[in-house]
Amino acid sequence: MNKLDSKFGDFGGMYVPELLIPALDQLEQAFIDAQQDPEFQKEFMDLLNNYAGRPTAMTLSKNLVSNPKVKLYLKREDLLHGGAHKTNQVLGQALLTKRMGKTEVIAETGAGQHGVATALACALMGLKARIYMGAKDVERQAPNVFRMRLMGAEVIPVDSGSGTLKDAVNEALRDWSANYDKAHYLLGTAAGPHPFPTIVREFHRMIGEETRAQIMEREGRLPDAVVACVGGGSNAIGMFADFIDTPEVKLIGVEPAGKGLHTEEHGAAICKGTKGILHGTYSYIMQDKFGQIEESYSVSAGLDYPAVGPQHAYLNDIGRAEYVAASDEEALNAFQLLSRKEGIIPALESSHALAHALNMADEAEEETIIVVNLSGRGDKDLAHVRSVLGDAYDG
Amino acid sequence: MDRYAKMFNRLNDAKEGAFVPFVTVGDPDQETSISIMQCLIDNGADALELGIPYSDPIADGPTIQHASIRALSSGATPDTCFDAIAQIRKDNPDMPIGLLLYSNLVMVKGLESFYQQAADAGVDSILVADVPLREAEPFIEVANKTGIKQILIAPPNATDETFAAIGEKSQGYTYLLGRAGVTGAETAVEIPADELISKLKQHKVAPPLLGFGISKPQQVKDAIAAGAAGAISGSATVNIIAENLDNKDVMLKNLGNFVQEMKAATK
């Protein structure tokens, strides 16, 4: 039986083949032990501080917001080594891999950010990494494929199904079910079967904890709202975790509306999806009426996932967090605005959160402090954004 | 007496093991799929194990993934699958028919209404590939209510606690995993050690059928010699479909020969 709670209300659980249960139990036990082991915590903190660059800065935007009543802060996960928040939890899980005596790591990646984070952690810790990536994504994200290979990871293109992130997860799970003895599955988001949603949340929890301390120091009070983008939901749950029991802080998750929530081309599992099971967890997913999983879509590959972490589904249903959506167009606008006004090029994922925060800022009638989790930097998106917007800037 | 119990009694009396082929319903299309299922029965299958096509089959290797894709492309849905099964049931009143499928297909329809639909189509058992014992309680409850046997998987790496729970809850038969990994003929079955078989006996689990990586008559023979009640062969069966998509007559002939050879090895 599970030692930690495997569910968030009805959501979550362990909907995987019986074969994987011992590996998930082993992981749960290793995580519980590590959380209570000062040596582990010391090593994790050392890596976070001296390798990854924590704590990350929190920047008050100077030119972005015209409403004088609003202060918009950016939690700068884009400054973390690897270019996104992903590095936090990957370092934690890589340490758990070693603790379990495993020598190999399996991971999935969509845009390549989790793959890059996995590759760097495995290079550092002498683990052998193989990373599943949809064949289409391998083509679309060539620079990240090169980064992963440069750091010694094997990148395996996945042709099955739609050739994107969800198929890469399927393939990683299949690999794991044959190789759990020596390999750890280093899942990249706060989804999947228990204990992954809990582990990923706890290994990203410092995002919200630092935010709380930094805002108290700068403003002497808590923010009115924290805003984060939600694909699988790892950066959002990292930002939310420390505020869940502080009801005066609004938690706002921004899903990808793609070409619009009225179209079929989006990735808004909470806003538009229905309850179901994907990749081992019961949550909101995108599916047809028979339960076949539908393709998601977003301009941002990191949000292009047809499900969401189970704790977000729960926070939505109990009304503790609010989930909204921002379209490709709104995200691209926010991407350009932050670049031009503040000299920060954000990831397209984080641009979704920023887009919604800017709308909130425009509408605010009282003194308001908003913190946006700027979960990653936009370098990886330059080629793609240039292909979409190039005409406005080239020549 | 239920169809599985009758089958095992009959086979015990004849000192035979069971041979159970698996195919995905609707692969490659509804009409051919019905011919395929009847062909398997006519050539000596003791029971049928049937997949309902699903978009994200995480416990399946490429062979059965492709079967799902073919079936879905031909327009298969759980409803059309149940229509096909109902036809097979009508013509084969004593044949044990089991489903092997994924949880989301059940969840989206609602457990009770899915199981009832299966029961109405003449299904005897349901195995949900991604529902381990730990999540199985609601499924078992609905199975009991609708007269379906909930089939449980006994993996080679299970703890004693898991074996004990399977012993307590298993009905119909127990799906004994021949190895780790996903379905597929590429990696051969590992014949279970005496220790595993004696554990199953000790915990009084429902008769174990060995599956995963069984493609040859010798493996069927070895499985039964080791103490399994029979063998399930999925990917090897589906491969014959995949290799003969352009010639239905050859497909059915080869499927028939395959089932006869595998069945002969149970005697």
Query: What is the domain partition of chain B in residue ranges?
Result: 3-262
Please report residues of B whose CB lies closer than 8 A to that of A283: none
- Has this prediction a pTM greater than 0.95? yes
CA–CA gap between residue A145 and residue A138 (Å, rounded) = 6
Candidates A28, A77, A108, A202; catalytic one = A108
**What tens digit of pLDDT does each residue of B21-79 get?**
999 999 999 999 999 999 999 999 999 999 999 999 999 999 999 999 999 999 999 99
Q: Is B124 annotated in the active site?
A: no
Nearest Cα residue to B233 out of B253, B258, B208 = B258
* A interface test, pick of B80, B134, B189 with most A CB neighbours within 10 Å: B134
Report how far residue A326's alpha carbon sits from residue A347's, in angstroms, rounded to the nearest whole number. Answer: 14
Active site residue A341: no
**Contacts with A190 (C-beta within 8 Å, 6 or more apart), sequence order:** A196, A197, A200, A201, A204, A232, A233, A234, A237, A309, A311, A312
Using an 8 Å CB-CB cutoff, list chain A residues near B58: 16-17, 170, 173-174, 177, 279
B18 phi/psi in degrees, rounded to 5: -95, 140
Residues of A in contact with B155 (CB under 8 A): 17-19
- pLDDT band at residue B192 using 50, 70 and 90 as cut-offs: confident
Rounded CA gap, B64 and B57, in Å? Answer: 8
Nearest CA distance, A162 vs chain B (angstrom): 10
For strands B18-24 and B230-233, give the pairing: parallel
Cα A84–chain centre separation? 9
Confidence check: pLDDT of A99 > 90: yes
Q: What are the angstrom distances between the C-alpha of B194 and each of A134, A278, A378, B224, B225?
A: 42, 37, 58, 12, 10
Residue B24: list chain A partners with CB under 8 A: none
B157 with A19: Cβ contact below 8 A: yes
With an 8 Å Cβ cutoff, the interface of chain A facing chain B consists of: 1-2, 6, 13-22, 160-161, 166-167, 170, 173-174, 177-180, 274-280, 282, 285, 287, 289-293
Q: What is the pLDDT of residue B118?
A: 98
Report the pLDDT value the prediction gives residue A74, as an integer from 0 to 100.
Answer: 98
Contact A277/B162, CB-based, under 8 Å?
A: no
Q: Give the model confidence (pLDDT) of A209-238 as tens digits.
A: 999 999 999 999 999 999 999 999 999 999
Confidence of residue B251 (pLDDT cuts 50, 70, 90): very high
**Hey, are the CB atoms on A290 and B78 less than 8 Å from each other?**
yes
B258 DSSP assignment: H
Predicted confidence band of residue A161 (pLDDT cuts 50, 70, 90): confident
The listed CATH number (3.40.50.410, 2.60.40.10, 3.20.20.70, 3.40.50.1820) that belongs to domain B3-262: 3.20.20.70
For tokens 């289409």, the residue is A136
- Percent of chain B predicted with pLDDT > 90: 91
Residues 6+ apart with CB under 8 A from B148: B115, B118, B119, B123, B124, B125, B126, B142
Q: Between chains, do A17 and B105 touch, taking CB under 8 Å as contact?
A: no
Record the tokens describing residue B229, joined without a space.
């009640």
Q: Phi then psi for A295, rounded to 5 degrees?
A: -75, 135
- Decide if A14 and B107 are in contact by the 8 Å CB cutoff: no
Q: Give CA–CA dist A363/A366, Å, rounded.
A: 9
Contact present, A144 and A111 (Cβ < 8 Å) = yes
Rounded to whole angstroms, how far apart are CA atoms B107 and B114? Answer: 8
Is A86 among the catalytic positions?
Answer: yes
Mean pLDDT taken over chain B = 96
CA pseudo-torsion sign B141, B146, B148, B149: positive
Q: Output the pLDDT for position A228.
A: 98
Residue B1: the pLDDT is 78
Query: Which pLDDT score, from 0 to 100, does residue A395 have?
Result: 61
Interchain CB distance below 8 Å, A17 and B133 = no
Query: What pLDDT shows up at residue B101?
Result: 98
- Kindly report the nearest CA distance between residue B210 and chain A, in angstroms: 15
Residues of chain A neighbouring B65 (CB-CB closer than 8 A): 160-161
Torsion sign (Cα): A91, A165, B133, B65 = negative
Q: What is the pLDDT of residues A265-303, one digit of tens each?
A: 999 999 999 999 999 999 999 999 999 999 999 999 889
Q: A167 with A295: CB under 8 angstroms?
A: no
Mean pLDDT on A362-385 = 95
Contacts of B182 in chain A (CB under 8 A): 174, 177-178
Higher local confidence (pLDDT), B190 or A319: A319
Judged on CB neighbours under 10 Å (0-12, 13-18, 19+), B216 is: middle
Residues of chain A contacting residue B59, judged by C-beta atoms under 8 Å apart = 17, 174, 177
ipTM over 0.90: yes
Q: Give B195's pLDDT tier (boundaries 50, 70, 90).
A: confident
Per-residue pLDDT band at B191 (split at 50, 70, 90)? confident
Residue A1 confidence (pLDDT) above 80: no
Q: What is the pLDDT of residues A29-42, one digit of tens each?
A: 999 999 999 999 99
Does B95 lie at the interface with A, CB-CB under 8 angstroms?
no
Report the alpha-carbon distance of residue A324 to residue A315 in Å, rounded: 13
Any A CB within 8 A of B140 CB: no
Q: What is the mean pLDDT of chain A?
A: 96
How distant, in Å, are the alpha carbons of A33, A113, A236 from that of A375?
A: 29, 11, 9
Residue A46: CB atoms within 10 A of its CB come to: 11
Selecting from B104, B134, B152 the residue whose C-beta is nearest the C-beta of A277 gives B104
| Locus of tokens 């390549």 | A112
Contact state of B65 with A160 under an 8 Å Cβ cutoff:
yes
Cis? peptide before B28, omega within 30° of 0: yes
Mean pLDDT (whole number) for B226-237: 96
Cβ–Cβ pairs < 8 A, chains A and B: 113
User: Using the beta-carbon criterion (under 8 Å), do A292 and B129 form an inter-chain contact?
Assistant: no
Residues in chain B, total = 267
Determine the Cα–Cα distance for residues A67 and A64; give it in Å rounded to an integer.
9
Percent of chain A with pLDDT over 70: 100
- For B55, the closest of A2, A280, A292 (CB atoms) is A292
How would DSSP label each residue in B135-153? G-HHHHHHHHHHT-EE-EE
Picking from B52, B56, B170, B186 by the largest number of A CB atoms within 10 A of its own CB, the best residue to mutate is: B56
Query: Which residue from A167, A178, A278 is facing B181, i.e. has the nearest CB?
Result: A178
Q: Which residue in chain A has the smallest CA separation from B187? A: A178
pLDDT digits (tens, 9 = 90+) for B75-118: 999 999 999 999 999 999 999 999 999 999 999 999 999 999 99
From chain B, the residues in CB contact with A20 under 8 A are 132
